[in-house]
Amino acid sequence: MASTAATPSSFSLLQSSSSASTSSTRSPSFVRLASTLRPPLRRLGFAGAAADASFSLHVLSKINSYKSQSTKPIRGVASMAKKSVGDLTSADLKGKKVFVRADLNVPLDDSQNITDDTRIRAAIPTIKHLINNGAKVILSSHLGRPKGVTPKFSLAPLVPRLSELLGLQVVKADDCIGPDVEKLVAELPEGGVLLLENVRFYKEEEKNDPEFAKKLASLADLYVNDAFGTAHRAHASTEGVTKFLKPSVAGFLLQKELDYLVGAVSNPKRPFAAIVGGSKVSSKIGVIESLLEKCDILLLGGGMIFTFYKAQGMSVGSSLVEEDKLDLATSLLAKAKEKGVSLLLPTDVVIADKFAADADSKIVPASGIPDGWMGLDIGPDSIKTFSEALDTTQTVIWNGPMGVFEFEKFAAGTEAIAKKLEEISKKGATTIIGGGDSVAAVEKVGVAEAMSHISTGGGASLELLEGKQLPGVLALNEADPVPV
């Protein structure tokens, strides 16, 4: 689980452009996690293709325990430093009501059992710090994307696990504002924890309604944001409340995510390699452009490579191609050259005669994909080249699988990269997994423990890697100046 081993009193933040995203209309996270196993079918629209259900269950159980690793903060890249919960001592906290926004948006199965408690475990260090210092903790989170009050999105199923991890009985409120909640807050002892009901049961949450934010804030004396996975949302409980609660500080998880995803990437030990894969180049343009400014080596894999091949005049059969991104691919290749970044595209690929787990497959040079065949993984020569390139690196960030790793026949490239990262991590390289399907991939291979950092936020980590600012972080108070 996430460790509090080293939790500096304040942390550094280096971000460039400002672009706060708001809530989208994607399906709830727990639905999405299950559907993570079939995205190619969904995203590519291969009608009639069916993922193997037993395999899906297998991967789901593997996803169950992806972990944040112990904290190894990277410091010294300050353009803005936020106040941390670690700055608050018992003098600040004893008897105080603290509103803690966590991201407890965990996947639940049909029987409301938690299938991955990572986000709950990751929230524990901050809560423990507060209770150990005599605070009264008012814990808030969203779960999924409910439209109004929806029992299946209640936070009630989380109470037993939270209580177990904290070693105390967490009290659960049936609402997140109002007189009944105020009564429970008044009864809360020092060191007690009250879990508010799903804050998204109110539409005002995602609208960042100031009156709603004020009602939430009125419950407490000060505010801690530890919800990294939701820090890219400017919502009432992540941003609005900070206008009414002072100080508003960062929790340990938020701090650790920023230390890695901003600190390590902005000020990397070199050589610094980025591995970007996944289905489409369009979803990773911002990440690739941003990483090209920073990295020494860029390895590209996944479905996006065929757009690059086609842009270079190669035939790609029926592989995934984004016709409207051919010029962009060409300009990214030119940009890499201009920046002196060593951009490696796979030289061979595993092709399939259909998009299915039981497709016929063969290995061909990247320039030799026949009509009617599609590339679904990188080939053995590419694995060798990529592995050799990674051998020398000191920092690696990975976002997106190398192939359709959900199908065993096309998982070799992704698995080989995961194992290589395990190997170099053990030798001292910093290895960062930037959320999303890459997390499921390192879990599937069983190498999660070896990684330096595995992000708990998919969308939030992508936005950070793109160089965007996160509203939930921006809103926090700045750290006290360091005495000289």
Ligand X SMILES: Nc1ncnc2c1ncn2[C@@H]1O[C@H](COP(=O)(O)OP(=O)(O)O)[C@@H](O)[C@H]1O
Ligand Y SMILES: O=C(OP(=O)(O)O)[C@H](O)COP(=O)(O)O
Among 52-60, 107-115, 315-323, 451-459, which window interacts with ligand Y (CB under 6 A)? 451-459
**C-beta of 199 vs 299, nearer to ligand Y:** 199
Report strand pairing: 248-250 vs 222-225.
parallel
- For residue 268, whether the previous peptide bond is cis, meaning omega lies within 30 degrees of 0, is no
| Catalytic choice (317, 379, 434, 459) | 459
Measured from the CB atom, the residue of 25 and 54 that comes closer to ligand Y is 25
Q: Does 140 bind ligand Y (CB under 6 A)?
A: no
**Residue 150's binding partner, choosing from ligand X, ligand Y, none, with beta-carbon cut-off 5 to 8 A by kind?**
none
Closest by CA to 211, choosing from 185, 250, 188, 244, is 244
Q: Is 43 a catalytic residue?
A: no
Q: Which positions from 300 through 359 interact with ligand X, judged by CB under 6 A?
A: 302-303, 320
Residue 453 touching ligand Y (CB under 6 A)? no
Count of residues that interact with ligand X, criterion CB under 6 A: 20
Q: Check binding of 437 to ligand Y (CB under 6 A).
A: no
Q: Does 145 participate in binding ligand Y (rule CB under 6 A)?
A: yes
Tokens of 272: 């610094």
Is there binding between residue 458 and ligand Y (CB under 6 A)?
yes
Sign of CA dihedral 473, 135, 252, 199: negative
Provide the token pair at 124.
Answer: 């524990």
Whole-angstrom Cα Rg for the chain: 23
Residue 230 contact, options ligand Y, ligand X, none, Cβ 5-8 Å cut-off depending on partner type: ligand Y
Active site residue 119: yes
Burial class (CB in 10 A: 0-12, 13-18, 19+), 13: buried
Q: Which does 268 bind (CB under 5 to 8 A by kind): ligand X, ligand Y, none?
A: none
- With b for 16 or more beta-carbon neighbours within 10 A and e for fewer, the 293-327 pattern comes to ebbbbbbbbbbbbbbbbbbeeeebbbbbbbeebbe
* Cβ contact 437:463 at 8 Å: no
Q: Give the pairing type, strands 10-13 and 80-83.
A: antiparallel
Selected binder of ligand X within 399, 430, 469, 477 (CB under 6 A):
399
Read off the DSSP letter of residue 342.
E
Residues 417-436 that bind ligand X (CB under 6 A): 436
Residue in 230, 242, 266, 414 binding ligand Y, rule: CB under 6 A: 230
* 229 sits near ligand Y (criterion: CB under 6 A): yes
Q: CA-to-CA distance for 248 and 225, rounded, in angstroms?
A: 7
403 binds ligand X (CB under 6 A): yes
Answer yes or no: 459 catalytic: yes
User: Annotated catalytic, 280?
Assistant: yes
Enumerate the H helices of 167-209 as residue ranges. 179-187, 203-206
Structure tokens at 450: 């070896």
Note the residues at the interface with ligand Y (CB under 6 A). Answer: 23, 26, 29, 32, 103, 105, 145, 229-230, 233, 435, 457-459
Q: Which amino acids are annotated catalytic?
A: 119, 280, 436, 459
